[in-house]
Amino acid sequence: MSKKADRRVPEEQAATVAQVLAAIEAMTAGDAARLKGFAASKWRVRGHLPDGRDGDDLLSAAVVAALAGRRRWNPSKVPFPTFLIGAMRSLANHARKARVTDILQIALSESDLVTPEDPIPLDNMSSADPYAFGSATPSAEERVLQEQSQREARDLISEFEKSHDDDWEALLVIEAWREGHDGPAIREKLGLSVTEYETIVRRLRRKAKISHNSRQPNAN
């Protein structure tokens, strides 16, 4: 029986705390804008409305996972911002599957959840898995919370779509995203060039940020 290859960075190649701190200092304003933009959208809504922390928790969790968890960074292979984006993507997806809103808990508990056969077992977990964290059969309280989350999500989507009321291209892209299509598939389906698609997405990002900032008590 073949053993699954261990994809983890060997400990001797993993970055030290000093290397992580140096990489943080070396970051550019563009790196920071990308990281913040990614984190804020990735961790804005997980069954709850944005609470003003704008993805900072996800940024922190990615660093914690690198230093205390199983996600080692190899400085000779991957730039630090790229590593952080990969870690944030994975942590956010795992948190969703585990139905956990405390992202730091995911960053720390991943180290307790691995097995020799599955270095990152949450990668293999399906959200439909009845043995995923959280109950397979929701309690009455959980059902109430789920219904509330559904209402809030529906209202947010409706608000977002209304903000693009006169932009049919943006509405088509939003619908395609809801159906799970990615950029290349959407461009092919709608006959858009790369530049045309990117222009529409920039309009969507701009409106999403305006909508989000208007909800925050202390927008930064």
Binding site for another protein (CB under 8 A): 17, 20-21, 24-25, 27-42, 44-47, 56, 59-61, 63-64, 67-68, 85, 96, 149-151, 153-154, 156-157, 160, 174, 177-180, 182-183, 198, 201-202, 204-206, 208-210, 213, 220
Q: Which two tokens stand for residue 96?
A: 């969703």
Closest to another protein by CB, 39 vs 106, is 39
CB of 121 to another protein, least distance (A): 21
Closest to another protein by CB, 4 vs 151, is 151
CB of 26 to another protein, least distance (A): 10
Instruction: Give a three-class secondary structure readout of 77-140.
Output: CCCHHHHHHHHHHHHHHHHHHHCCCCHHHHHHHHHHHCCCCCCCHHHHCCCCCCCCCCCCCCCH
Closest to another protein by CB, 108 vs 113, is 108
CB of 39 to another protein, least distance (A): 8
CB of 25 to another protein, least distance (A): 7
Closest to another protein by CB, 115 vs 193, is 193
CB of 166 to another protein, least distance (A): 19
**Which uninterrupted H or E stretch holds 24?**
helix 17-26
Burial pattern 68-103, b for ≥16 Cβ within 10 A else e, equals: ebbbbbebeeeebbebbbebbebbbbbbebbbbeeb
Rounded (5°) CA angle 117-91-40: 165
d(CA 21, CA 3): 35
Closest to another protein by CB, 14 vs 45, is 45
